[in-house]
Structure 1
Amino acid sequence: MPGAVSDVELARSLDGGFVSDHADVNGIRLHYVAGGRGEPLVLLGGWPQTWWEFHKIMPPLAERFRVIAVDLRGMGGSDRPAGGYDKKTMAGDILGLVRHLGHETVHIAGHDIGGMVAYAFAANHPAHTRRIALLDIAHPDERFYAYSLLPKPGRQQVGGDIHAGPGRFLWWFAFNQVPGLPERLLAGRSRHLIDWMCDYLIEDPRSIDEHDRNVYAHAYSTEDAIRAGNAWYRAFGQDIEDEKTYAPVTAPILGLGGGEGGHRLLQAILADKGTDVQVVEVPDSGHYIPEEQPEAVVRHLTRFLG
């Protein structure tokens, strides 16, 4: 991939003394980037990105917290095992890392797939959870089976153009379930996927620039990387069954929702997921909130985490 930059170089480019490292936990090797001083704050990213999606918020957060941005199982510089992509197991990975780093309890914030893992962490390991923030996502539940893949005709819908219709149509939830095919179609062509996702789910496409897109495209450039990322989606069925066994999370929960009513949807979903839940709208933002509105995210997280 032209212009690929290593995680070591990316970490060094951030203010706050960030360092790229690895840890052997829960039977796999996890990559993480850590810096700053204070209470530990774990950041978990999503598809199709890496820990780098937090690069705009990590330096200011490092002024108050020990920031630990993690590549999930199957992501970026972490291992890509054959299995274990259900969010309960992945939460166990994070617990192993937390203990490896010498922390007993942590704040944890997740975006996209990372938000699902963050919730599973709080649900399964409450004694190790201080506060939890979910950015534009909630843990899979039965609602996932009802998501529409086709836009209904309407005044804003012209000629079947998915971009013109109101709302988001999560076709990749189904595409990523197909074994073997996405790997063959996307290997070496992941930049096309990155550009489409960014342009479709973002308020201002310039928020994720050429350099950032190259970082993500490089991370998902091989068949094995695509297979591992898709495995997060193929585990949704197990995640939904696991979620049915969870009691409401007792740690305080903050939900940050983007535009197009994202915060209202998140509010409805999280209403019965915790005993202390607050949801805040982040205006002028699509799905990629940490990159689109980093100052707002830092402000909300700092206030919430205290």
Structure 2
Amino acid sequence: MKINANPANCYAMPSFNLLFKKCLTLLLMITLGLSAGTVYAQSTAKYSKAELSDAALIKSLPGFKNAYAEVNGVKLHYVIGGQGEPLVLLPGWPQTWWSFHQIMPQLAAKYKVIVVDIRGMGSSGRPESGYDKKNMAKDINDLIHTLGFQKAFISGHDIGAQVAFAVAANYPEVTAKLILMDVPHPDDTFAATLMLPALGTPTDKLDENHPFLWWFAFNQMKGMPEKLLAGRVRLVQDAVFKYLLYNEAALSELDREVYAAAYDSPGGVRAGNAWYQAFPQDIADYKNYNKVTMPVLGIGGPGYNWLNYVLPNKATDVKVVKVEGSGHFVAEEKPKATADFMIDFLK
């Protein structure tokens, strides 16, 4: 049946019987279409909102606690625990502080571990602006001083790695050592990201030699992604996880629901995408940074060659290691190997 796509036109049809049948069919189609995201979200949810909260998650990590600080015009949520020199961990997209939960206990045996939901992430504030990595570095610098520390080890994964490098570049006096996981700070290699996959390259699973980072472009769109994804953000997250994970079982159903809950709103999508929309400014800022002189460790999964290529351009003391058998999410796919690399470097 051919149906006029505008429901308002139903009122202008000449035959009442035809009008009734066509309008009823159209309304059913619209109703089912609009509810598809809701049905998907409800049918896959296995945990309540309370079970996905920071308060519930922290119970699985004895010795850690949730805390908040107001710095640089934003409220930051962080999780803190352990003893020793401070070690700051910064997560990436599309995750939260929870992405480090498997390595936090091992690290806390030697360091005061501070895992931060960066600006726009999780339980931290979602301001309308300030998502360039230079400004986000000020967030972390101010947090370190607010906690009473003068210097800290700084580590990050993905977007968090970009912020970590910006901390080192802008606040070298605060950065004792720097660890970047699988992703460098935005530079000209980001601007050269391909719009189309190479011929014959799969788009559902990463080919390390021909990466197709489609979300780099999608996340640049302002206003559209939050309208499309609110209520169904896990559809995109699952696609990204499938593409970037070597072992898809490394992320449990609980992990996936924690991350979906953190972004599954217009504000959550908007803030996460703002990190990507700041890339052009980040690239411009990077060109003005001097080489960092503190020791730098790159921990790479599929990003190993990328880190090897980029880091020597902006750091004088660099070591890059490969996490074998891991995809992009090294702290979750190979937690012990990742933590061992970190501890060996920091000591």
Same fold (TM over 0.5): yes
Is residue 37–residue 66 contact of structure 1 (8 Å, CA) maintained in 2?
yes
Q: Identify which of 101, 108, 113 aligns with 1:62.
A: 108
Is residue 151–residue 165 contact of structure 1 (8 Å, CA) maintained in 2?
no
Deviation at 1:270, TM superposition (A): 0.8
**SS of residue in 2 equivalent to 1:78:** coil
Equivalent in the alignment of 1:43: 89
The structure with more radius of gyration: 2
String of CA shifts for 1:208-229, please: whole Å, max 9, x gaps: 1100000000000100110000
Which has the larger share of helix? Answer: 2
Deviation at 1:164, TM superposition (A): 6.1
Equivalent in the alignment of 2:157: 111
Is residue 186–residue 226 contact of structure 1 (8 Å, CA) maintained in 2?
yes
* Residue 73 in structure 1 maps to residue 119 in structure 2: yes
* Residue 234 in structure 1 maps to residue 273 in structure 2: no
* Residue 136 in structure 1 maps to residue 177 in structure 2: no
* Residue 195 in structure 1 maps to residue 238 in structure 2: yes
Q: Distance in 1 between matches of 2:112 and 2:205?
A: 42
Equivalent in the alignment of 2:305: 264
Code of the residue aligned with 2:216 in structure 1: it is: F
Equivalent in the alignment of 2:18: none
TM-score (norm 2): 0.84
* Residue 291 in structure 1 maps to residue 343 in structure 2: no
Q: Distance in 2 between matches of 1:181 and 1:78?
A: 23
TM-score (norm 1): 0.95
Q: Identify which of 249, 263, 268 aligns with 1:220.
A: 263
Aligned residues: 298
String of CA shifts for 1:45-86, please: whole Å, max 9, x gaps: 000100000000001100000000000000000000010000
Is residue 44–residue 71 contact of structure 1 (8 Å, CA) maintained in 2?
yes
* Residue 14 in structure 1 maps to residue 57 in structure 2: no
Q: Distance in 1 between matches of 2:194 and 2:333?
A: 26
Is residue 203–residue 243 contact of structure 2 (8 Å, CA) maintained in 1?
no
Equivalent in the alignment of 2:295: 252
Deviation at 1:22, TM superposition (A): 0.5
Q: Distance in 1 between matches of 2:317 and 2:206?
A: 35
**SS of residue in 1 equivalent to 2:83:** coil
Is residue 162–residue 184 contact of structure 2 (8 Å, CA) maintained in 1?
yes
Unaligned runs of 5+ in 2: 1-40
Q: Identify which of 5, 26, 33 aligns with 2:79.
A: 33
Deviation at 1:14, TM superposition (A): 1.0
Q: Distance in 2 between matches of 1:24 and 1:165?
A: 39
Equivalent in the alignment of 1:179: 222
Is residue 166–residue 185 contact of structure 2 (8 Å, CA) maintained in 1?
yes
Deviation at 1:165, TM superposition (A): 7.3
- What RMSD, in angstroms, separates the aligned Cα atoms of the two structures? 1.2
Code of the residue aligned with 1:72 in structure 2: it is: I
Q: Distance in 1 between matches of 2:206 and 2:290?
A: 37
